[in-house]
Structure 1
């Protein structure tokens, strides 16, 4: 069992308040939110209260929010739903970035197989895309533009609002994957040039298996799932009432404590990097991603001369949990598609490790991990 958990970008521990909300809703007895009897009405009331709370936090109408089963489902529902609706209007172009999460990239590749024209915006060496490149790619035939808020591997922030203005001007639907940025940025969706936004509960100390999709009123959209009329006929299937109640509770606390959360992770991240400079040496590692335009809780580092697999295996043996990149592809031996798109040299691609911080982490853990890495590096480089 790892004693130091530095993999919060993969998933976060559920906070007690969210766990209590889950247990309360789960223990409330029978009740399908679609049923008309008293049990069903009680369940529906919990879903409605959660939706209202999340809408208030996001600056949108509660009617514009759709509960899903994950961030991946939210991404897929947004992309397929908007693309197919836009195709009926003669729009068949998809524009996204080369550094998106696979939930977006693989969905876009499937849309390409269905006849859509796919354009991948290139990233610079920091992992950031250019609004000028987006402007050149978006035209009157573009159906959907999808740009993430902050990258899940490097933390680099994207100019999604600037690109959203371009998309809106040209009649394309603008989708933003905010799964990793949720809890670290504030949103006012009534004002932002965003038509669809994907979120997930387990990135903000809520439960796994609950996602959210914002669909601005009037946005062209076709459902991904067919069945009942749940979620205003935009997502069939009985709602996960306990998970939704816990999601809302976690979100309330995440937004209430956001400034303190940012200070915490910045403090741990800075302590970690400073300790590495002292214990390992400035030249023994490289920071991947943008130095300033970034999410505060992620540090993607390369240790040239030591493969990612060797570093991660030795960290795990020493009781430290980190990641080679996206948790969704952690079993793959292929280099990160994000770092590859940034055109990093092979020695940095093959030695990258993502450390991500969150509630419960301390400066002491950061400093201890730096010493562990220095010990591992000395041993592996000698051998």
Structure 2
């Protein structure tokens, strides 16, 4: 904690925080090794952000939390930070009983073949949280809370079991895709959990895709690789989700054995108007094809995007609102039955026509 009395404006506080960071953020030599130190600063101003020392410390701590969450060098306290923190605490309390009270549910979004969008290859299970009063909490809001509290471990295991149970009743050629949080990898024996769930639900392992994000792969490869190898060894497929939204390292495809990459929707959003983004998509598709990795493009929500992917032939599978919104178990089961019964007829499953 640093207290500076000669600060009266927000610009003064930001400048002071920058000077602290510049003074501390340097390299040091320890036992013949160069160690680089970095600093993240949360700042608050008295009496603007609080009337006593406890309030100021709390405000600065909230600013620090915000800076770490956003990955910035520092943040100055703003009143909305307190509102966000209060909302987060409310969700943490509500989440403690949400699973036992059956407030969570799964929706399912089809993943279809690009060339034959009437054919559903797999279905992604998507978590939803509905409070007793009918209020819906979005995944972007409750997933970080679940990960921070560790509740994601129990929630993830529940979602995996429910998804496998649903898939068991679908045609044998359809797979279920389930998202796995990085926290599940590091706070549970994920391989044992998956094996036990498959045994309990009697689902063929070859029908399960586990979707992981790049944040899992940036960890110690000596820890992650054996887990992925064990899962793939029993037939489970590994998909790299949100590819292109974060570190976007193609070297992951060399370091890890990945069966599928799911290209983030921001790539196809930009590809419609940017030649650079389109070239990235072409390049990723070409490399993946050469090493035998399936490419799924997410966020295909318009005819324009679907037509572009067909024209460029830079995806094996597609997913998005243009083909189907996330739907209930009953609806997706009906879609799959109709697709199975009419597999030689185009347009049976999808509400919209196949793009030209």
Bucket of the pairwise TM-score, normalised by the shorter protein: under 0.3
**Bigger share in strand:** 2
TM-score, L = length of structure 2: 0.27
Larger radius of gyration: 2
Which of structures 1 and 2 has the larger relative contact order (alpha carbons within 8 angstroms, sep 6+)?
A: 1
TM-score, L = length of structure 1: 0.26
